[in-house]
Structure 1
């Protein structure tokens, strides 16, 4: 596949597109299940998590209903549970097969993540924005003491070995803390001139990638915090990033209403941008790296990246309407 920075000629979304009446509001979070067969998505104000068959685009079972707006979601590493977070009513952990609530964690959140071993759920609370809290994933009880930061946490990611957690802050800094000791091991580092909107580790744990509303994506040595290579620059604020399981490519989305795929080694865009027809708030690669899904203000669209031209796409369509 080409890694040229020259765009492939495109008029936007091509080929057959299936449209589904699913969510009724914007989609701030999407994720693939580990086996790549299903996708989960959440919507801001329709209070649901919907699970989709990744191949057909059809709903897989009944939606998971919540008491208030769902703003974030994470799938456990074994794919058996979903943790979904609400602004006001905390986190609900679901048994995916039975579509039943396992337990609930009180307190509104705006970000959450599963640890790589599935034992812990980390949350960035709404009311105590300058910390990351840890919860026993099986029991929903508090775990270790919260980790403290100097500014509001906008995003976070566990290291692949689960020993560290990286957080992007609203002032453009990022910091890595050792979970066992609670000590800062990298940073705080002023990586951006605006808030860090997304942060991810490479699969081997060597690199840390940050995206920001300053229109840039930057790559760092995860052990030293030294920037590696030149940044990847967009035209507008970058809201979200995702890395393929082989660590070769990165997808990004943001306020330019497109999803872009980048070669992480060369820092060049691969092919053309994918037209998302609205601000993109979240992106996720399929486990095999072939597909990328982006969600935001115009729904969630699934693209085939094999040729970097849209051969087919599945759109989880959002009908904007009043909810009562």
Structure 2
């Protein structure tokens, strides 16, 4: 059977093209999304959400609403619903709403027994992982309200108070290890043209802000430059330059090359040492030697603006995956500058975020891409095979992977999805 949603929910027989029964009309207003899931006893059910702020559960075979009173919790319309199974085997539903919250429900309960909210007052622009002082993996998100919030991905709870020094939007966040001690530091930057270094364990800045660019900073990457394990920071943005920062001396130099804003930056391992790859509005990807401050070879040209970049290893080669504004993902070999046809063309909006991670069995590298139309696609770059499609209903702005969980930054907050 096939389920569709508009002002109501309808069930169809795809073989005959006929509607199976009368539509479900209990929602007041548009129905924005539906999800199919199964109970532990094997019963197939249907979840629907809409502008009336309600989550409703149906039996598609009988047309019966499972619970007479719908489940409420969102204060504004619900845009998306997604079913998943957590590592403990619990069958859960996640809903994302216009009230800037993500809520997680246990649909086997009556009333629902789990309702976890991850809230942001403004859109989330970037997300990264970092290590706490005891080595645990945690998540940091950067928001348009100028704040950094820290999260426990297991409990889906905020850690401590937000970090904030500016009211201007923060667009980029990255982490790097502390020197000589456990834990990580965070670097953040955005529209206030300053780069701030934070200790997430204390909630304080480690040093005064770095000021080098006269324009907005849109991308950051931290890397180790030499055998001394000295951490350097790369920043880029609307000034079209790649800045390399020495955090100890607070000095920087700039590498020109791009003709328009730079929106993405990632580190790239090579036989000769660490390199950087950048991409942006001039529709090029450029490879850099940050130690010598030079561009390596000619730019790699793509047919659309580059919005996101990540690197991964396949057959002992370092490759790049680039997401572009026309909804494509490109796989690029930076050594020979080869790019074939786009591996993934399933997105129909700009690919604003992309990340790599190891499969559950650790046998191969997978990629996850997120688009402006609120869709995530997990795929195998070796087999050119899409493993999963997840619709969250709101624009994806950042992705990272933490301990088997996918943390997705979006215009409504941060959504944490179990990958196992």
Place the TM-score, normalised by the shorter chain, in its bin.
0.7 to 0.9
Matches of 1:312 and 1:100, distance apart in 2? 29
Q: 2:123: which partner in 1?
A: 69
Question: Does the 8 Å contact 2:326/2:348 carry over to 1?
Answer: no
The equivalent position to 1:318 in structure 2, one of 393, 408, 416, is 393
TM-score with structure 2 length normalisation?
0.59
Higher mean displacement: 63-72 or 237-246: 63-72
Q: Does 1:192 align with 2:258?
A: yes
| Structure 2: 5+ residue stretches without partners | 1-33, 37-47, 50-77, 81-95, 105-113, 396-410, 413-420
Question: Does the 8 Å contact 1:109/1:124 carry over to 2?
Answer: yes
Against the structure 1 CA distance between its residues 199 and 272, is the aligned structure 2 distance closer, same or farther, given a 3 Å change threshold? closer
Q: 1:114: which partner in 2?
A: 175
The equivalent position to 1:93 in structure 2, one of 134, 150, 161, is 150
Q: Give the CA RMSD over aligned residues.
A: 3.2
Question: Does the 8 Å contact 1:263/1:270 carry over to 2?
Answer: no
Question: Does the 8 Å contact 2:221/2:235 carry over to 1?
Answer: yes
Question: Does the 8 Å contact 2:255/2:294 carry over to 1?
Answer: no
Matches of 2:234 and 2:310, distance apart in 1? 15
Q: How does 1:55-66 map to 2 (within 5 A)?
A: 62-66=116-120
Question: Does the 8 Å contact 1:113/1:123 carry over to 2?
Answer: yes
The equivalent position to 1:213 in structure 2, one of 273, 281, 292, is 281
Q: 1:105: which partner in 2?
A: 163
Question: Does the 8 Å contact 2:377/2:386 carry over to 1?
Answer: no
Question: Does the 8 Å contact 2:189/2:217 carry over to 1?
Answer: yes
Q: 2:221: which partner in 1?
A: 157
Matches of 1:306 and 1:99, distance apart in 2? 32
Q: In the TM superposition, what is the alpha-carbon distance from 1:158 to its structure 2 partner?
A: 0.5
TM-score with structure 1 length normalisation?
0.75
Any idea what SS the aligned residue of 2:295 has? coil
Q: In the TM superposition, what is the alpha-carbon distance from 1:316 to its structure 2 partner?
A: 3.3
Q: In the TM superposition, what is the alpha-carbon distance from 1:247 to its structure 2 partner?
A: 5.7
Question: Does the 8 Å contact 1:170/1:195 carry over to 2?
Answer: yes
Deviations 1:77-122 (A, max 9, x none): 5562111121115111112233332221023422111114542111
> Which structure is richer in relative contact order (CA contacts within 8 A, separation 6 or more)?
1
Aligned length: 275
Give the structure with the larger strand fraction. 2
Q: 1:223: which partner in 2?
A: 291
Structure with max Cα Rg? 2
Deviations 1:211-252 (A, max 9, x none): 111000010112112221232211011111000156611000
Matches of 2:312 and 2:103, distance apart in 1? 23
Q: How does 1:14-93 map to 2 (within 5 A)?
A: 24=79, 47-48=100-101, 62-77=116-131, 80-88=137-145, 90-93=147-150
Q: In the TM superposition, what is the alpha-carbon distance from 1:48 to its structure 2 partner?
A: 4.9
Question: Does the 8 Å contact 1:125/1:133 carry over to 2?
Answer: no
